[in-house]
Amino acid sequence: MITLRAIGRNSKGAKLRTIFRLAISQRQLSSSSTTNTNTTNDDSSKDENRNITKCVSDAEIKKSVFISQSYDIFTNLALEDWLYRHFDFSHHHVLLLWANEPCVVIGRHQNPFLETNVSKIMDNGIILARRSSGGGAVFHDRGNLNCTFFTPRERYNRKYNLNILTRALFREWAIKADINQRDDIVINEKKISGTAAKLGHPNAYHHCTLLVNANKNHLGDSLVREEAIYIGKATASKKSPIKNLCDVNSTVNIAQLLSAIGYEFLRTSATELEDGGNIQTMKQRGFQLINPTEKWFPGIDVLRHELSSWEWIVGKTPTFSVEKELALKTDGDKQLIMKLSVSVENGLMADINIVMPNGDRLPVISQFQNKSFNEKNLNNIVGALKLASTDNVKQAINGL
């Protein structure tokens, strides 16, 4: 029987801490041994590591299911990043299970303002976060279970991971779910899970979500952006109809799902979808409760600080411009329709212009220049310009 082991509460927790310390030491040793080598030697070292990884048999690979005790998105993202950077997965594959308080999480290369109304969600107490992996924007709350599969890069297998999830659903509740061409898990063409990954050397991870009983009203409202035209090269999310697992089977719940997925992972061979049952399960390291603190994961506080900073969440936004229709008063009751154009670099408003009907661009001198871009600031500029009459538009532009 597999038991839950809490880090720091007993000697078994201390054993896991030793595993983490050993992983750090091995990684630091590997790094220091190549510090003074050239690129050719680095490439040779990578090839050697790949060969060693490939030579490890499934029987030599142990598995663990880590369960984060934090519901803070930045702490969980930092834990994910810490494991990716420091842990040795060559003989030990890990599935991390975690959940968060309400938040919107965007991909590494996304524009948050293209995915959500940042000002609105923050006013509603919903956190915005940017993760290190690619992919699209997702809404998290306590009704959404997140799964991160860690392996060496050479054993990265997205289909294997997704099949672990679908097999767990079928084994526990007889729910039949499919994996589509985009590697989403769907039921009757409605999405219950999205997916993203980070591939590096020597490690890689694949993470995905499972909608259990997420607040669909909050989800829908949180992924609606400000009405405007956004121009840029950021990765855009692809909208899909969604479904909660509890709408398929009302008995599905987070605690039972966590257990079902964990056991499915442990009972399955390390690289092949072969069910080893209880015999395979008993060979593994089981479930372990993880308290992601600086004491057990040295440097995690620094990672959390970086991931929660404005510079990372907003400042890393790819350069873009936004255009919003602007109606200025003319003589009588007529209106002159123009456009407000704002270019944004590193999250800051750089150039602010009014685009006239003939295409001429009139620069706006504003206190908002070099300030953080957000929907409130954009609408404040629009509101101020709407107060100007046509005769005074140039004066308003230069004195805003």
The structure tokens 């950077």 sit at: 85
For residue 13, pLDDT beyond 50: no
Backbone φ, ψ for residue 132 (5° rounding): -85, -15
Please give the Cα distance from 281 to 253 (Å, whole number).
23
- Condensed to tens digits (0 to 9), the pLDDT of residues 268-302 reads 999 999 999 999 999 999 999 999 999 999 999 99
Question: What DSSP state is assigned to residue 237?
Answer: P
Residues 6+ apart with CB under 8 A from 1: none
**Cis? peptide before 202, omega within 30° of 0:** yes
Domains of the chain: 62-314 (3.30.930.10), 320-398 (no CATH)
Please give the Cα distance from 270 to 319 (Å, whole number).
42
Question: What DSSP state is assigned to residue 373?
Answer: P
The dihedral formed by the CA atoms of 26, 30, 33 and 35, expressed in degrees to the nearest 10: -130
DSSP three-state, residue 96 = strand
For residue 4, pLDDT beyond 50: no
Question: What DSSP state is assigned to residue 318?
Answer: P
Please give the Cα distance from 396 to 384 (Å, whole number).
8
Please give the Cα distance from 74 to 117 (Å, whole number).
20
What is the reported pTM? 0.85
Tell me the average pLDDT across 293-322.
97
Per cent of the chain over pLDDT 90 is 72
388 — pLDDT class (breaks 50, 70, 90): low
- Condensed to tens digits (0 to 9), the pLDDT of residues 73-118 reads 999 999 999 999 999 999 999 999 999 999 999 999 999 999 999 9
Question: In the predicted model, what is the mean pLDDT of the chain?
Answer: 86
